[in-house]
Amino acid sequence: MIYIGEFFYTNNQQAAEEQDRRHGEFNLIVEADHNEQAITLFRERIFEFREGSDFFEGDCSIFFIRLLEFENFPRTKALMLNYKSTAGDPLMPFIGCTIPSDQSDSCRIYSWKEKQPEIDGQNENLFLEFKA
């Protein structure tokens, strides 16, 4: 199976200046025998990025938002994975749709509240956390 993990993160949260603190999102993709193996491989890769790059510097929290599972990828029609629509300034909530189609738009409302992502008004669970 092919697994795609969607993640939100905060990093450099210990920085005094707001412009030095960061938040964002990323995806990881892997082929694995089952979802537990995929999650383990995602975790290992995030640790590698933490150690070998500047991606997850300082005080950093990573939130596992969604796991998508595919037997194979479409061959005759492109599949939209992540559509994002942001209103106003970057601090505003945004609407995100995963795999929208003519049967379902799969849209949810994403926002940040006190360095914690919320989806449709519900707090998301912490996946990994690093301290500076």
Confirm if 62 and 127 have CB atoms less than 8 A apart.
Answer: yes
Q: Is residue 50 part of a domain?
A: yes
Task: Give the closest residue to 63 by CA, choosing from 18, 25, 106.
Answer: 25
Q: What are 23-59's pLDDT values in tens digits?
A: 888 899 999 999 999 999 999 999 998 998 888 889 9
Q: Say if 131 falls within a structural domain.
A: no
Does some domain include residue 132?
A: no
**pLDDT computed for residue 31 by the predictor:** 97
Domain that includes residue 68, residue range: 2-123
In a domain, 63, yes or no: yes
Entry field: residues in the chain? 132
Question: Total domain count for the chain?
Answer: 1
- 38 found inside a domain: yes
Domain membership flag for residue 130: no
Q: Please give the model's pTM, rounded to 2 decimal places.
A: 0.74
For residue 47 the two structure tokens come to 């640790």
- Is 128 within a domain? no
Residue 61 in any domain: the answer is: yes
Nearest CA to 58 among 15, 3, 112, 9? 15
